[in-house]
Homo-oligomer: A and B are copies of this chain.
Amino acid sequence: MKVRLRNPDREVELAGGRKVHEVLRELGIDPDTVLVIRERELVTREERLAEADEIEVRPVISGGGGMKCRRCKAPAVVELRRHNAAFCRDCFLRHVHEQVKRAIAAFDMFGTDDRILVAVSGGKDSLGLWDVLLELGYRADGLYLGLGIGGYSSRSRDVVRAFAEEHGATLFEVELAEEYGFDVPTAGKKGSRSTCAVCGLSKRYVFNKAAREHGYDVIATGHNLDDEAATLLGNTLRWQTEYIARQFPVLPAEDGLARKVKPLYRLSELETAAYAFLRGIEYVVEECPLVAGNTQLRYKEAMNRLEAASPGTKAQFFLNYLDRGAPLFAAQDAARLHPCERCGEPTTARFCAFCRARAQILGERLGEPPGGAEEGERLAEPRGGEGAGQRRTGDRVEDEREVVRALSEEVLPVEIYGRSGA
């Protein structure tokens, strides 16, 4: 029996004539973390596989072996341990729509007249989000930002274009290198920031600028529950109260910052992956090749282990934060913004973090220092150097709003932006 595994892509030959969960056990794979696909159909963990079968084991979802749909009692294809429930295809898609509607209503994210700009990366979350919003009748356009990460970026762009074409949706594209003179791999090597930090910073910058220039009412990103729980864990482990305060499903427009919303915050990664698959969305399954060793992934792993031992831990952590924790931190978010002297985007400093990072990467100098070598020093800032006893992960030195965002959302595979129509 041929088994195709992803991340990295590879094929193995295994004995057939046994059940899905037995094959997964031999592979050392937790059935709750993968989709098992045979001839474009999901198979559940109790199903028997034949010698002649060819299967794909794709992160991330569970099959509901022999289970019935909670809603209609048809055979289930998705099992959600956290909800102690399983769903058939149609009821699962409805479940996802309901969760997104609930999120939109709970935070009054946007209405049907609002123009929404969806940050699309080509991954399951952002394309799934775009799909849900179109299905629900919202005015949602897409934005794709080319990061210049070799084949990964070009494959992502192709997938996003195909989605837009198939749905007759408007897609904007921009190439970071064309527009700003550097790509993400170069930035990771040349600047003082980590690759993930400068990538997130660039996405937020370009994205915010585009939304305001094109007159969109709101930016929507595909952050899911796993993203939010992992980020909250990281921020809480350091008690970074300002970052915690800003980790909210809605950030209102203010001082040059566009309104931002995260309509998938109630859905786990498993749910968004299942949604994209069951809707037949071709998405980029591979992970960004630069993400290895990212601390965010470590926090996701920690949360996944706790979730496996006690299903519901992630949701409890993030949703209880929104109910009980967030009100205590609200007063911590007190930064005042004004326009960057170089580009006009909002910042708490003289020049915004993006302009500073860009100048550093390109070896340029940002104006003359106000009263000495201050700006020059900033640009030459070394990788280490904060207070004793603290370790540097990403950029945790500067006390600025846009850096706060870069940090509190370190991995942002979905926050990207584009320019010309599809």
Contact of A320 with B391 in the complex, beta carbons under 8 Å:
no
Contact of A320 with B238 at beta-carbon distance under 8 Å, contacts A306-B298, A328-B329 already known: yes
Bound state CA distance, A76 and B237, in angstroms?
31
A110 proximal to B (CB < 8 A): no
A313 proximal to B (CB < 8 A): yes
Contact of B320 with A239 in the complex, beta carbons under 8 Å:
yes
What count of chain A residues pass the 8 Å CB interface test?
30
State the copy count for this chain: 2
Contact of A310 with B324 at beta-carbon distance under 8 Å, contacts A236-B236, A237-B317, A238-B317 already known: no
Nearest B residue (CB) for A299: B306
Bound state CA distance, A127 and B245, in angstroms?
41
Q: Which residues of the partner chain B approach A348 to less than 8 Å between Cβ atoms? A: none
Contact of A316 with B238 in the complex, beta carbons under 8 Å:
yes
Contact of A313 with B237 at beta-carbon distance under 8 Å, contacts A302-B302, A305-B302, A306-B298 already known: yes
Contact of A391 among B236, B306, B310, B389 (CB under 8 A): B310
Q: Which residues of the partner chain B approach A391 to less than 8 Å between Cβ atoms? A: 310, 312
Bound state CA distance, A147 and B236, in angstroms?
36
Shortest distance from the beta carbon of A263 to any chain B beta carbon, whole Å: 21
A323 proximal to B (CB < 8 A): yes
Closest 3 interchain pairs by CB?
Answer: A239-B320, A239-B324, A239-B325
Q: 14 more A-B contacts (CB under 8 A) besides A310-B391, A328-B329?
A: A237-B306, A237-B313, A237-B316, A237-B317, A238-B316, A238-B320, A239-B320, A239-B323, A239-B325, A241-B324, A241-B328, A312-B391, A316-B390, A328-B328
A-B contact pairs, 13 of them (CB 8 A): A237-B313, A237-B316, A238-B316, A239-B317, A239-B320, A239-B321, A239-B323, A298-B310, A302-B302, A310-B391, A328-B328, A328-B329, A328-B332
